[in-house]
Structure 1
Amino acid sequence: MPHKVTIYSLKLHDFRNYASVALGLDDRHVVLTGANGAGKTNLMEAVSFLSPGRGLRRAAYADVAREGAAGGFSVFAAIDGMQGEVEIGTGTDTGEDGQSRRLRLNGTTARSVDELLDHLRVVWLTPSMDGLFTGSSSDRRRFLDRLVLSLDPEHGRRAADFEKAMRGRNRLLSEPRPDARWLDALETQMAELGVAMALARRELVGLLADIVEASRDEGPFPSSSMTLSGFLDDRLDRPAYEIEEEYAALLRDGRFRDAAAGRTLDGPHRVDLLIRHREKSMDAARCSTGEQKALLVGMILAHAGLVAGMTGHAPILLLDEITAHLDEGRRAALFDRIDALGGQAFMTGTDRAMFAALGERARLLTVENGRIEG
């Protein structure tokens, strides 16, 4: 079984509705119950800040600090992580503009928040993701890239650099007489980064497909089939340099068209993740609400298993309002699957009875108006 990464201590200061809170935990799962608006998801969001990015809500950092607080917010965690015990502190400083955050590991300032991926991986499922199948392609791309980032720590940096190069190209194309040599340089950079992004996504989808196929007969969750569409479809099974040359040529030949459109029309930023219910051979968007929830849970569990298998360390799972739309049988199966993964999970719900099947495997805490008891 993969090593169980465990959060043993969690402290928040001026985070959302928490002025100050300190939790001592053990290696059991954590269940947070309470009324809507009590602060359950806020605590989950704090844990999600133990990974790169803007957390499970993708909020601006300035909006995360408690209303009326004099400075920023802070999250502190002591964990038994992928490289042993480590103390993690992250947050924003007084006077920051909300566009960046600081990170300290064992009291030492880290060079980048990407260093968090050396110590733990965090995977989450939230109610806002319930509309993944019927929502926009950009929502599915963000979902896909988050899955890739859990396995490939460089993916986020490549995506950010691609966006920066693309913005530079778009600005140049808006000029009356853009510098062709500078365009060539930007398009070469976009080709290298864009193809690397596309190949990483393609690899992730293939690996997930293998996991889903291997577990099709395990439990009540339906299996999904996933394909990518929108960028060099069916032409990625070649040496990377050939694909880069083709994409660079597409960009070069499309300059006038892109200038007229005011944006770049070809690239990995146009990709969509297409998902189908395998057993029913039906697009996920056409499935019932309960089937969509079960499909999404199955995908997240498959991805968590992939992370555990490839890194040797089970991820921290954040499952917000996870019991919604799941019947008793699927709830029990979900808890068993979480145990089988070998990781620590944080779960929320309004009804404590929904988590009865966990028994002593979980620590149940009650959340009320920024206070945590239990």
Structure 2
Amino acid sequence: YEAAMRERNRLLAADMPADPDWLTALEARMAEHGAAIDAARRDAVAALAARLADQPHGPFARAGLVLEGEPVGDLAAQLRAGRSRDAAAGRALAGPHRQDLIVTHLDKNQPAHLCSTGEQKALLLGIVLAHAELVTERTGDAPLLLLDEVAAHLDPSRRAALFERLTGRGQVWMTGTEPALFEGVPAPLTRYRVAGGTISAA
């Protein structure tokens, strides 16, 4: 999809008029792959949203997920009709790359971007953990989790709940600049220290 879109953008931006047959072929590729992306994305968001909505009230805020925008539909026709507009904009203005994921704090009925930093962190963690559980169910393998600065904006009760929820879920890497925040991580665990460009066992 992206390769065809880049080539189409390049042709529309060129000084010479683009070959309409070549544009049509590129738009057909974008439409084919775009429809597959859109369908897979909507399936994933629906499954994840259902799991999040069913979770009990707890330390991690329940996130509502909605994919903004209508299904792709006849993307080839939209692209063909929008060639002049896209040429002026320098990019394709229709397609799944224009969709946004809208996140809401369900318990407060509040958009995520209006939540506090701690609430946003809790929402994000809830989404990541729910996604990891879905991946495990669908593939049979627990995914590797990389959680950067995961404890920085969590209060002690949320940190404890996070560490408990991560126990037994495969390999998890957590980073942070304050070692004390990870004191509650249950064994088995390995600590590393990064200083002066060197990694060593802590």
Per the normalisation by structure 1, the TM-score is 0.51
More deviation, 313-322/168-177: 168-177
1:339 aligns with 2:167: yes
1:213 aligns with 2:53: yes
Unaligned 5+ residue runs, structure 2? none
- What is the percentage of aligned positions where both structures have the same residue? 50
- The residue aligned with 1:269 is 97
- Give 1:282's aligned amino acid: Q
Give the deviation of 1:262 after TM superposition: 2.6
State which of 78, 87, 93 in structure 2 corresponds to 1:259: 87
Deviation at 1:197, TM superposition (A): 1.2
The Cα shift of 1:199 comes to: 1.3
Q: Secondary structure at 1:225's aligned position in 2?
A: strand
CA drift at 1:206: 0.8
| 1:291 is aligned to 2:119 | yes
TM-score, with normalisation over the residues of structure 2?
0.91
Once the two structures are superposed, residues 336-358 of structure 1 have per-residue CA deviations (whole angstroms, 9 ceiling, x without a partner) of 11115x21111122333322222
Aligned to 1:43: none
Q: Which residue of 2 aligns with 1:204?
A: 44
Quick one: structure 1 residues 270 and 328, their matched pair in 2 at CA, closer, same or farther if it must change by over 3 Å? Answer: same
CA distance, structure 2, for counterparts of residue 281 and residue 371 of structure 1: 43
- Tell me, in whole angstroms, the C-alpha distance in 2 between the residues paired with 1:318 and 1:170: 35
RMSD: 1.7
Distance in 2 between residues matched to 1:164 and 1:214, nearest whole Å: 38
CA distance in 1, matches of 2:52, 2:18: 48
Partner of 1:229: 68
Q: Work out which of the residue numbers 107, 115, 128 in structure 2 matches 1:279.
A: 107
Q: Is 1:352–2:179 an aligned residue pair? A: yes
Structure-2 change in CA distance of 1:182 and 1:284 (3 Å): same
Change (3 A) 1:266 1:371: closer
Unaligned ranges ≥5, structure 1? 1-161, 237-242
Matching residue's letter, 2:46: G
Q: Which has the higher strand share?
A: 1
Instruction: Give me the whole-angstrom Cα distance separating, in 2, the residues matched to 1:169 and 1:366.
Output: 47
Amino acid in the other structure paired with 1:333: A
> Are 1:363 and 2:164 matched, yes or no?
no
Q: What is the match of residue 163 of structure 1?
A: 2
Paired positions, count: 200
Cα distance change on mapping 1:367 and 1:176 into 2, 3 Å: closer
Q: Which has the higher contact order (CA 8 A, sep 6+)?
A: 1
Structure whose residues are more often helix by fraction:
2
Please state how far the C-alpha of 1:176 moved relative to its aligned partner: 4.1
Equivalent position of 1:305 in the other structure: 133
Q: Which amino acid aligns with 2:65?
A: M
> 2:110, 2:68 → 1: CA distance?
17
